[in-house]
Amino acid sequence: MKRRVVITGLGAVTPIGIGIGPSWQALCAGVSGITRVTRFDTSNLRAGIAGEVKGFNPEDFIDHKLARRTDRYQHFALAAARMALEDARFEIPPSEADRVGVIVGTATGGLQSMLSAQAEFSNGSSDEISPFFILQYLTNIGAGQVALLAGARGPNFAPTSACASGTHSVGDGFKLIQHGACDMVLAGGADAGIIPIMLHGLGLMKACSQRTDMPEKASRPFELNRDGFVTGEGAAILVLEELDHALRRGAGTYAEIVGYAATGDAYHITSPSPQGEGAGRCIRLALEDAGVSPADVDYVNAHGTSTRLNDVAETRAIKAVFGKHASRLAVSSNKSMIGHLWGASGAVEAAFTALTLKHGVVPPTINYETPDPECDLDYVPNRARRMQVRIAISNSFGFGGTNGVLVFRRFEA
């Protein structure tokens, strides 16, 4: 018999807030976190806007020594994990440590640290390179640092599946608990890839928005005049817990995870299949895993990147799966406000979906001005909507044709 899995703690670092509370409030208010990049000169780059995390001091969450030895993406992961554990009101006792896992996905890992070390080496300043730069760069070290912070001795790994990394992390954690391998998993994602070469590379790919004169208007998922996504950074960690374990300790609950699926397109290395076949198959499999009928779903937290191909493909996938019910769904994209957080995006969006179920508020898709005839669903334009949501899904579709979908249910004991 499959065990029930609930979310008992949330922690986040996003372009619109440090902490899940400030981030959620800003999201529901339609506040954009997209600005011109402030950390370096972008005048010679193809892209100069991003969803930067502002006002973040890692030493508010970890000591000075550890902060110096870790990369920015690890800072975000550690901060989100500490906040999630505090939110869950739980310190892992040694007697339970073997049953607590950690899964923290990332797309770029410690890219900043690696490039800084390479620059020092190329300039002949090899003596200045940190002896920790390999550990700053590796994609699994964020998960390892979170496990050390929490004292978790269960499974410990890091999915690296581009834009679906965070969703795959949460889904894998859900399955570990559901099938009895763990009682609790700290699951999420973290990325900090806002660096000059990354922005320039995205510009060369023609993947990102060129609306640099109005950065807050640049990310406009499903809207006719969208011209590409906006990169971002941040992290989210969710405390996933087996229901009886949570009830025994009197934990609060945000939502229940009831389904998960992962698929691949095998179509193109960056573009989705035009009809959204791989995405649609993933949604179907996740609903089947949850034992949920498409007609029972109320809300879709969309991948919604603000690119021409992806938004159309996702819309077609939703329509193919839900049929006539698609027109009755609320569909919105958090990326309109926070940008695309790469490996962190699915985890952040999963946390926001849990809050939608908890509070009965669907965040908006901002910058929605002119409808696109090919994107003809209800995208909750510009203003948050109060509505009771019993079942919701969260979509993540990434480079390489990788897909992940999570199914959430409002918690009912």
Helix, strand, or coil here: 149? helix
What does the alpha-carbon distance between residue 21 and residue 41 come to, in Å, rounded to a whole number? 32
Quick check: is 28 catalytic?
Answer: no
Q: Which of 47, 75, 77 is nearest to 195 (CA)?
A: 47
Quick check: is 340 catalytic?
Answer: yes
Residue of 28, 245, 340, 375 with catalytic role: 340
What does the alpha-carbon distance between residue 19 and residue 24 come to, in Å, rounded to a whole number? 9
| Integer angstrom CA distances of residue 399 from 85, 119, 190, 338 | 31, 28, 17, 19
What does the alpha-carbon distance between residue 177 and residue 64 come to, in Å, rounded to a whole number? 34
Q: Which residues contact 180 (CB under 8 A, 6 or more apart)?
A: 3
Residue of 28, 75, 163, 375 with catalytic role: 163
Query: Amino acid identity of 298?
Result: D
Residue of 75, 168, 245, 303 with catalytic role: 303
What does the alpha-carbon distance between residue 148 and residue 81 come to, in Å, rounded to a whole number? 11
Quick check: is 245 catalytic?
Answer: no
What does the alpha-carbon distance between residue 25 and residue 385 come to, in Å, rounded to a whole number? 13
Q: Decide if 82 contacts 19 (C-beta within 8 A).
A: no
What does the alpha-carbon distance between residue 250 and residue 235 come to, in Å, rounded to a whole number? 27
| Residue 342, both tokens | 């790469």
Catalytic residues: 163, 303, 340
